[in-house]
Amino acid sequence: MSITITRLSALGCEVCGVDFSEPLLAEERAAIETALERQLVVVARGQRLSDPELLAFSRNFGELDPPGPNPYGEPFNKDFPEINVISNVIENGRAIGGLGAGEAAWHADMTYIEVPPKCAILHALEIPADGGGNTYFADMYAAYEALPQALKAAIEGKSTVHDASRNSAGLLRKGYAEVSDVRKTAGARHPLVRTDRATGRRSLFLGRRHNSYVVGLDVCESEALLDALWACATEPQFTMCHRWQVGDVVMWNNRAVLHRRDPFDASARRIMHRTQIKGVERIA
């Protein structure tokens, strides 16, 4: 069987004809990388990867970036600490993974570091039978292109601070204090507009809304500008929805999309294993 890549909508594509548990051919790797650059979200169904297989597959796309600090202060997956576990399951009184069963608000991953990961890879091991927990992606190239001219002008040359203190479920990470003044938010600063080095295309680079601050503005001005940007960036026409099945692998271009997750029934089991690939350049 040979690789096929089918567009799902303006955003996202599905890869068929490749078994991710086997070593990839050079042309398969290249095709997936191109799809990540162009379609930004790559979906493959029916994959069953052990942790070592998920790690080997992920390494095709660069060096692994270990998960950021979680609220518990130690890796969820002690045998393979490069793998993050996203789960609501409690075993022996302890969460086996992060983010619980609630909504995860729109965000990009680990943008609070100086060189954020370029790609994330999420593999579904257990999924609630009755649905819920859909994951949505928003295209930040399309969002930037569609911004009103006044908003484009307002953000030109500006940077924001990307909050390191809370995870996507809103929990305080171990070692961080509550932010009481967004001008003092701990985390990296990145330009609001990112230009892709290879293509010259411009995209919004927002990270996450909570505790964000536009450097140099009054707090009120910063809040108003960020609210306007986030409202535009997450309009439904820029988004796609992924409804999970066991065995799915979903990869996304973390520099060019935001993602969020619906809540799901807390009494159902949902277990996802996740890797991410180090970025190789600062956001510019």
Q: In the complex, which residues of this chain contact ligand SIN (CB under 6 A)?
A: 86, 99, 104, 135, 168, 259, 261, 272
> Which residue, 103 or 223, has its beta carbon nearer to ligand SIN?
103
> Which residue, 194 or 261, has its beta carbon nearer to ligand SIN?
261
Q: 245 forms bridges with which residues in the sheet?
A: none
> Which residue, 173 or 193, has its beta carbon nearer to ligand SIN?
173
Q: Closest CB to ligand SIN belongs to which residue?
A: 135
> Which residue, 99 or 204, has its beta carbon nearer to ligand SIN?
99
Number of residues in the chain: 284
Q: How far is the CB of 238 from ligand SIN (least distance, A)?
A: 17
> Which residue, 126 or 196, has its beta carbon nearer to ligand SIN?
126
- Rounded-to-integer distance, Cα 207 and Cα 229, Å: 12
- Rounded-to-integer distance, Cα 75 and Cα 230, Å: 31
- Rounded-to-integer distance, Cα 4 and Cα 55, Å: 23
Q: How far is the CB of 111 from ligand SIN (least distance, A)?
A: 12
SS (H, E, C) 210-271: CCCEECCCCHHHHHHHHHHHHHHHCCHHHEEEECCCCCCEEEEECCCEEEEECCCCCCCCCE
Q: How far is the CB of 274 from ligand SIN (least distance, A)?
A: 7
Q: Read off the DSSP letter of residue 97.
A: S
Q: How far is the CB of 86 from ligand SIN (least distance, A)?
A: 5
Q: How far is the CB of 199 from ligand SIN (least distance, A)?
A: 25
Residue partners of 266: CB distance under 8 A and separation at least 6 = 88, 100, 101
> Which residue, 28 or 65, has its beta carbon nearer to ligand SIN?
65
Measured at the CA of 100, the angle between CA 167 and CA 77, to 5 degrees, comes to 80
Contact 237, 25 (CB under 8 A): no
Q: How far is the CB of 220 from ligand SIN (least distance, A)?
A: 29
